Amino acid sequence: MKSIIAKVIYLLMVITALLGVLNSPSALVAGIIFSLIFQNPFKSFSQTAISYLLKTSIVGLGFGMLFKETLETSKEGFSLTVCTILLTVILGFILIRVMKLEKQLGHLITAGTSICGGSAIAAISSVIRAKGPTISIALGIVFLLNSIALFVFPIIGHLLDLSQYEFGLWCAVAIHDTSSVVGSAVDYGNEALRIATTVKLSRTLWIIPLSIFYTFIFKTKGKKLKIPYFIFLFIVAIALNSYHIIPEPVSSNIVFLSKRLLILTLFVVGSTLSISNIKSIGIKPLLFALILWLFITIFSLAYILY
Protein backbone atom coordinates (compact mmCIF):
# COMPACT_ATOMS: atom_id res chain seq x y z
CA MET A 1 0.00 0.00 0.00
CA LYS A 2 2.81 2.39 0.92
CA SER A 3 4.51 1.78 -2.45
CA ILE A 4 1.29 2.70 -4.29
CA ILE A 5 0.96 5.91 -2.25
CA ALA A 6 4.62 6.72 -2.97
CA LYS A 7 4.06 6.28 -6.72
CA VAL A 8 0.94 8.48 -6.70
CA ILE A 9 2.65 11.25 -4.72
CA TYR A 10 5.76 11.03 -6.91
CA LEU A 11 3.71 11.41 -10.09
CA LEU A 12 1.77 14.32 -8.55
CA MET A 13 5.07 16.03 -7.72
CA VAL A 14 6.24 15.50 -11.30
CA ILE A 15 3.07 17.20 -12.59
CA THR A 16 3.51 20.02 -10.05
CA ALA A 17 7.07 20.62 -11.26
CA LEU A 18 6.00 20.66 -14.92
CA LEU A 19 3.18 23.12 -14.16
CA GLY A 20 5.72 25.58 -12.74
CA VAL A 21 4.36 25.59 -9.19
CA LEU A 22 7.89 24.93 -7.90
CA ASN A 23 11.04 26.95 -8.53
CA SER A 24 14.52 25.42 -8.70
CA PRO A 25 15.40 25.30 -4.96
CA SER A 26 11.91 24.19 -3.87
CA ALA A 27 11.92 21.42 -6.50
CA LEU A 28 15.19 20.08 -5.13
CA VAL A 29 13.94 20.32 -1.53
CA ALA A 30 10.67 18.58 -2.48
CA GLY A 31 12.67 15.72 -3.99
CA ILE A 32 14.88 15.40 -0.91
CA ILE A 33 11.89 15.44 1.46
CA PHE A 34 10.15 12.80 -0.66
CA SER A 35 13.24 10.56 -0.55
CA LEU A 36 13.41 10.89 3.24
CA ILE A 37 9.75 9.95 3.75
CA PHE A 38 9.38 7.36 1.01
CA GLN A 39 11.73 5.19 -0.98
CA ASN A 40 11.88 6.38 -4.56
CA PRO A 41 9.55 3.94 -6.37
CA PHE A 42 11.29 4.65 -9.68
CA LYS A 43 14.90 4.81 -8.44
CA SER A 44 16.61 2.89 -11.26
CA PHE A 45 14.56 4.76 -13.86
CA SER A 46 15.24 8.12 -12.13
CA GLN A 47 19.02 7.75 -12.48
CA THR A 48 18.66 7.32 -16.23
CA ALA A 49 15.98 9.99 -16.50
CA ILE A 50 18.19 12.66 -14.90
CA SER A 51 20.73 12.44 -17.70
CA TYR A 52 18.14 12.58 -20.50
CA LEU A 53 16.04 15.31 -18.87
CA LEU A 54 19.07 17.51 -18.29
CA LYS A 55 20.42 17.07 -21.81
CA THR A 56 16.98 17.74 -23.33
CA SER A 57 16.56 20.87 -21.19
CA ILE A 58 19.95 22.26 -22.20
CA VAL A 59 19.41 21.59 -25.91
CA GLY A 60 16.01 23.29 -25.62
CA LEU A 61 17.57 26.36 -23.99
CA GLY A 62 19.75 26.67 -27.10
CA PHE A 63 16.65 27.77 -29.03
CA GLY A 64 16.72 31.00 -27.01
CA MET A 65 20.35 31.86 -27.84
CA LEU A 66 22.20 33.49 -30.73
CA PHE A 67 25.58 32.54 -32.19
CA LYS A 68 27.18 35.98 -31.84
CA GLU A 69 26.30 36.33 -28.17
CA THR A 70 27.26 32.72 -27.43
CA LEU A 71 30.71 33.04 -29.04
CA GLU A 72 31.39 36.31 -27.23
CA THR A 73 30.40 34.75 -23.91
CA SER A 74 32.58 31.68 -24.56
CA LYS A 75 35.58 33.89 -25.36
CA GLU A 76 35.06 36.02 -22.26
CA GLY A 77 34.85 32.96 -20.01
CA PHE A 78 37.76 31.12 -21.65
CA SER A 79 40.63 32.56 -19.60
CA LEU A 80 38.76 32.04 -16.32
CA THR A 81 37.87 28.48 -17.36
CA VAL A 82 41.47 27.53 -18.19
CA CYS A 83 42.84 29.22 -15.07
CA THR A 84 40.39 27.61 -12.62
CA ILE A 85 40.66 24.12 -14.13
CA LEU A 86 44.46 24.13 -14.03
CA LEU A 87 44.70 25.57 -10.51
CA THR A 88 42.00 23.25 -9.11
CA VAL A 89 43.62 20.14 -10.60
CA ILE A 90 47.05 21.19 -9.26
CA LEU A 91 45.57 21.88 -5.81
CA GLY A 92 43.81 18.52 -5.95
CA PHE A 93 47.09 16.70 -6.64
CA ILE A 94 48.77 18.47 -3.71
CA LEU A 95 45.93 17.85 -1.25
CA ILE A 96 45.63 14.16 -2.18
CA ARG A 97 49.24 13.68 -1.05
CA VAL A 98 49.07 15.97 1.98
CA MET A 99 45.79 14.50 3.27
CA LYS A 100 46.77 10.94 2.24
CA LEU A 101 43.43 10.51 0.50
CA GLU A 102 42.64 7.41 -1.55
CA LYS A 103 44.07 8.28 -4.97
CA GLN A 104 41.15 7.35 -7.24
CA LEU A 105 38.57 9.03 -5.00
CA GLY A 106 40.68 12.18 -4.76
CA HIS A 107 41.04 12.49 -8.52
CA LEU A 108 37.33 11.85 -9.15
CA ILE A 109 36.40 14.64 -6.72
CA THR A 110 39.05 16.91 -8.30
CA ALA A 111 37.66 16.28 -11.79
CA GLY A 112 34.08 16.82 -10.61
CA THR A 113 34.98 20.09 -8.88
CA SER A 114 37.16 21.50 -11.64
CA ILE A 115 34.88 20.79 -14.60
CA CYS A 116 31.29 19.60 -14.32
CA GLY A 117 30.43 17.39 -11.38
CA GLY A 118 28.76 14.08 -12.16
CA SER A 119 29.54 14.15 -15.90
CA ALA A 120 33.28 14.56 -15.26
CA ILE A 121 33.23 11.89 -12.54
CA ALA A 122 31.46 9.45 -14.89
CA ALA A 123 33.97 10.12 -17.68
CA ILE A 124 37.11 10.00 -15.54
CA SER A 125 35.96 6.93 -13.56
CA SER A 126 35.98 4.84 -16.73
CA VAL A 127 39.47 6.08 -17.60
CA ILE A 128 41.04 5.37 -14.19
CA ARG A 129 39.00 2.17 -13.66
CA ALA A 130 37.42 3.40 -10.42
CA LYS A 131 35.25 0.93 -8.50
CA GLY A 132 31.53 1.37 -7.77
CA PRO A 133 31.80 2.42 -4.09
CA THR A 134 34.47 5.01 -4.94
CA ILE A 135 32.29 6.49 -7.68
CA SER A 136 29.25 6.54 -5.36
CA ILE A 137 31.14 8.46 -2.66
CA ALA A 138 32.43 11.01 -5.20
CA LEU A 139 28.94 11.48 -6.65
CA GLY A 140 27.44 11.75 -3.14
CA ILE A 141 29.83 14.55 -2.21
CA VAL A 142 29.15 16.42 -5.44
CA PHE A 143 25.40 16.03 -4.92
CA LEU A 144 25.66 17.39 -1.38
CA LEU A 145 27.70 20.45 -2.37
CA ASN A 146 25.47 21.07 -5.40
CA SER A 147 22.41 21.15 -3.14
CA ILE A 148 24.08 23.74 -0.91
CA ALA A 149 25.17 25.83 -3.91
CA LEU A 150 21.66 25.96 -5.35
CA PHE A 151 20.50 27.84 -2.25
CA VAL A 152 23.62 29.79 -1.28
CA PHE A 153 24.78 31.21 -4.62
CA PRO A 154 21.65 33.27 -5.44
CA ILE A 155 21.67 34.71 -1.89
CA ILE A 156 25.34 35.73 -2.17
CA GLY A 157 24.71 37.06 -5.68
CA HIS A 158 21.99 39.40 -4.45
CA LEU A 159 23.96 40.41 -1.34
CA LEU A 160 26.95 41.39 -3.49
CA ASP A 161 24.64 42.95 -6.08
CA LEU A 162 26.19 40.87 -8.85
CA SER A 163 24.99 41.65 -12.36
CA GLN A 164 23.36 38.86 -14.34
CA TYR A 165 26.55 38.54 -16.39
CA GLU A 166 28.74 38.25 -13.28
CA PHE A 167 26.40 35.79 -11.56
CA GLY A 168 26.02 33.59 -14.66
CA LEU A 169 29.78 33.41 -15.13
CA TRP A 170 30.38 32.68 -11.44
CA CYS A 171 27.78 29.89 -11.37
CA ALA A 172 29.23 28.24 -14.46
CA VAL A 173 32.71 28.12 -12.96
CA ALA A 174 32.10 27.49 -9.25
CA ILE A 175 29.10 25.11 -9.14
CA HIS A 176 29.87 21.48 -9.95
CA ASP A 177 26.90 20.02 -11.83
CA THR A 178 25.24 21.55 -14.90
CA SER A 179 21.77 20.96 -13.38
CA SER A 180 22.57 23.13 -10.33
CA VAL A 181 24.34 25.74 -12.47
CA VAL A 182 21.29 26.22 -14.67
CA GLY A 183 18.95 25.84 -11.68
CA SER A 184 20.70 28.68 -9.83
CA ALA A 185 20.80 30.95 -12.87
CA VAL A 186 17.25 30.37 -14.14
CA ASP A 187 15.71 32.27 -11.22
CA TYR A 188 18.35 35.02 -11.33
CA GLY A 189 17.45 36.19 -14.84
CA ASN A 190 17.47 35.29 -18.54
CA GLU A 191 20.90 36.79 -19.21
CA ALA A 192 22.39 34.93 -16.23
CA LEU A 193 20.84 31.72 -17.58
CA ARG A 194 22.27 32.27 -21.06
CA ILE A 195 25.77 33.01 -19.80
CA ALA A 196 25.78 30.20 -17.22
CA THR A 197 24.62 27.61 -19.77
CA THR A 198 27.06 28.71 -22.49
CA VAL A 199 30.15 28.89 -20.26
CA LYS A 200 29.31 25.64 -18.43
CA LEU A 201 28.88 23.69 -21.66
CA SER A 202 32.11 25.06 -23.12
CA ARG A 203 33.74 24.07 -19.83
CA THR A 204 32.29 20.56 -20.13
CA LEU A 205 34.35 19.99 -23.29
CA TRP A 206 37.45 20.04 -21.08
CA ILE A 207 36.45 16.50 -20.04
CA ILE A 208 38.23 15.31 -23.19
CA PRO A 209 41.75 16.71 -22.50
CA LEU A 210 41.42 15.86 -18.79
CA SER A 211 40.51 12.25 -19.66
CA ILE A 212 43.56 12.01 -21.92
CA PHE A 213 45.70 13.46 -19.11
CA TYR A 214 44.44 10.82 -16.67
CA THR A 215 45.15 7.98 -19.10
CA PHE A 216 48.84 8.87 -18.74
CA ILE A 217 48.68 9.44 -14.97
CA PHE A 218 46.97 6.08 -14.34
CA LYS A 219 48.54 4.37 -17.39
CA THR A 220 45.21 3.11 -18.75
CA LYS A 221 45.68 3.49 -22.50
CA GLY A 222 42.99 2.08 -24.73
CA LYS A 223 40.05 3.17 -22.57
CA LYS A 224 37.24 4.77 -24.54
CA LEU A 225 36.67 8.49 -23.87
CA LYS A 226 33.14 9.63 -23.08
CA ILE A 227 32.47 12.70 -25.22
CA PRO A 228 29.41 14.83 -24.27
CA TYR A 229 27.80 14.67 -27.73
CA PHE A 230 24.63 16.51 -26.67
CA ILE A 231 26.67 19.75 -26.74
CA PHE A 232 26.68 19.51 -30.54
CA LEU A 233 22.86 19.35 -30.49
CA PHE A 234 22.94 22.47 -28.30
CA ILE A 235 25.01 24.20 -31.02
CA VAL A 236 22.53 23.05 -33.70
CA ALA A 237 19.67 24.54 -31.65
CA ILE A 238 21.52 27.88 -31.45
CA ALA A 239 22.09 27.78 -35.23
CA LEU A 240 18.40 27.10 -35.92
CA ASN A 241 17.45 30.06 -33.73
CA SER A 242 20.18 32.38 -35.05
CA TYR A 243 19.12 31.92 -38.68
CA HIS A 244 15.39 32.05 -37.81
CA ILE A 245 14.73 28.63 -39.33
CA ILE A 246 12.13 27.96 -36.64
CA PRO A 247 9.37 30.59 -36.04
CA GLU A 248 9.94 32.76 -32.96
CA PRO A 249 6.75 31.63 -31.14
CA VAL A 250 7.83 27.99 -31.52
CA SER A 251 11.39 28.61 -30.24
CA SER A 252 10.00 30.63 -27.31
CA ASN A 253 7.72 27.75 -26.33
CA ILE A 254 10.62 25.29 -26.56
CA VAL A 255 12.67 27.47 -24.18
CA PHE A 256 9.67 27.75 -21.84
CA LEU A 257 9.19 23.98 -21.75
CA SER A 258 12.93 23.43 -21.29
CA LYS A 259 12.90 25.57 -18.13
CA ARG A 260 10.02 23.48 -16.77
CA LEU A 261 11.92 20.28 -17.61
CA LEU A 262 14.91 21.64 -15.72
CA ILE A 263 12.79 22.13 -12.59
CA LEU A 264 11.52 18.57 -12.99
CA THR A 265 15.14 17.41 -13.30
CA LEU A 266 16.02 19.02 -9.96
CA PHE A 267 13.08 17.27 -8.28
CA VAL A 268 14.22 13.91 -9.68
CA VAL A 269 17.80 14.64 -8.55
CA GLY A 270 16.54 15.31 -5.02
CA SER A 271 14.44 12.16 -5.01
CA THR A 272 17.49 9.98 -5.62
CA LEU A 273 19.10 11.05 -2.33
CA SER A 274 20.31 8.11 -0.27
CA ILE A 275 21.03 8.56 3.44
CA SER A 276 23.28 5.50 3.35
CA ASN A 277 25.38 7.09 0.57
CA ILE A 278 25.75 10.32 2.53
CA LYS A 279 26.75 8.41 5.68
CA SER A 280 29.39 6.52 3.72
CA ILE A 281 31.14 9.70 2.57
CA GLY A 282 33.42 10.18 5.57
CA ILE A 283 35.00 13.34 6.95
CA LYS A 284 38.30 13.35 5.03
CA PRO A 285 36.85 13.14 1.47
CA LEU A 286 34.20 15.72 2.39
CA LEU A 287 36.84 18.09 3.81
CA PHE A 288 38.97 17.58 0.69
CA ALA A 289 36.02 18.39 -1.59
CA LEU A 290 35.03 21.39 0.53
CA ILE A 291 38.53 22.91 0.35
CA LEU A 292 38.60 22.52 -3.44
CA TRP A 293 35.09 23.97 -3.77
CA LEU A 294 35.83 26.96 -1.53
CA PHE A 295 39.02 27.62 -3.49
CA ILE A 296 37.32 27.66 -6.90
CA THR A 297 34.34 29.61 -5.52
CA ILE A 298 36.39 32.38 -3.88
CA PHE A 299 39.04 32.55 -6.61
CA SER A 300 36.49 32.80 -9.44
CA LEU A 301 34.41 35.41 -7.59
CA ALA A 302 37.52 37.53 -6.93
CA TYR A 303 38.57 37.15 -10.59
CA ILE A 304 35.16 38.26 -11.84
CA LEU A 305 34.88 41.24 -9.47
CA TYR A 306 38.45 42.52 -9.61
Whether the per-residue pLDDT at 223 is higher than 60: the answer is no
Q: Kindly state the average pLDDT of the residues 52-61.
A: 86
Q: Kindly state the average pLDDT of the residues 147-174.
A: 94
The per-residue pLDDT for range 84-129, each reduced to its tens digit, is 999 999 999 999 999 999 999 999 999 999 988 877 887 788 788 8
* Secondary structure (H, E, C), 211-246: HHHHHHHCCCCCCCCCCCCHHHHHHHHHHHHHCCCC
Give residue 120's pLDDT.
83
Whether the per-residue pLDDT at 238 is higher than 60: the answer is yes
Res. 221 pLDDT band, cuts 50 70 90 = low
Cβ neighbors of 17 (< 8 A, separation 6 or more) are: 27, 30, 260, 263, 264, 266, 267
- Cβ atoms < 10 Å from Cβ of 11: 12
Whether the model pTM is above 0.75: yes
3-state secondary structure of 300: helix
- State which residues form the domain around 147: 2-305
**Domain count of the chain?**
1
Nearest to 90 by CA among 21, 142, 98: 98
Cα–Cα distance measured from residue 110 to residue 288, given in angstroms and rounded to the nearest whole number: 9
